[in-house]
Structure 1
Amino acid sequence: MTRNFLSASLRALALATSLTAVLAPSAWAFDESSTAAVNVDAQSLALRGHDVVAYFLDGAPRLGTAAFTARHEGVEYRFASAAHRDAFVAHPARYLPQFGGFCAMGVALGRKLDGDPTVWRVVDGKLYLNVTKEVQVKWLSDVPGHLKAAREQWPALQHRAPRDL
């Protein structure tokens, strides 16, 4: 990474972190003390209730409903339809967000930030979230490089609390 790019990335990450700190307790239920590898709320609900299958089959985020749910490794996922739920149950790994649903750019920079389900991208058949649209712009500027960095960082981050990073 060039020095200017790293500096701009760190500024965007700092802004996202400050926004997350302000909004997280009330708006997103992001738990800064959780050591879970999956980004969930206090009720173990992933993606703020968004349907993980919809990104792939509908090409857009959709809120799921309590009428169509499935649990995977202790985490609750909601779906917009029975067909989406059944697709997930048949092949959960196909639909799960990468890095546990934490911000992909944050992980690349050694942080666990709340991934926003409305700021997403499917790359090579995998779902990635970002914390804000501004951070996503930085992430999209070098997806292969950021994914390489995130994959290298993730093993050391996945079971650490965000506030400890």
Structure 2
Amino acid sequence: MELSSASEVKNTILPALITWFNDVPQTSLVRSVEVWIECMAKRRGEPASFTFDSAEEITDMGRKYATWAEEFEDIGFQKGSEKGKAEGRAEGRAEGQLSALRGVLTHLLHKRFGDLPEAAVQRIAAATQADLEQWCQRSLDAPGLDAVFHSEAASA
């Protein structure tokens, strides 16, 4: 039923269930199916109760549930889209912070030591945030550019 169109549910599935339930009365099974249909309706935001006794409700199924499978797919798509947007924003912020840190370090090193060699520029461009933060710290009191990038020289 979840993967069927509303017209298929209304015209084929529900009549077949009603016929079967009339031929083989199983009160607990009927109630379970009714509860299941109600749960699907609630997930769609339609809290109306459902019973097999109501022919009007069965007829109305076509109007209420245009295509259940499509709606459940839309719900999944919306949740995935929201999650993707949130992850994208977080990634963008992180990349922006990393870019800003690279710019600060490059500017600071240029002020202290003059034009930077291409190897230093490339190293900054490829560095992780942890490396950049460490190099910023070292650049404050390093005697030279080598001391900024090499831990042995900085600790000596």
Structure that is richer in strand per residue = 1
> Shorter chain as normaliser: what TM range?
under 0.3
- Taking structure 1 as the reference length, the TM-score comes to 0.20
- Taking structure 2 as the reference length, the TM-score comes to 0.21
Structure that is richer in helix per residue = 2
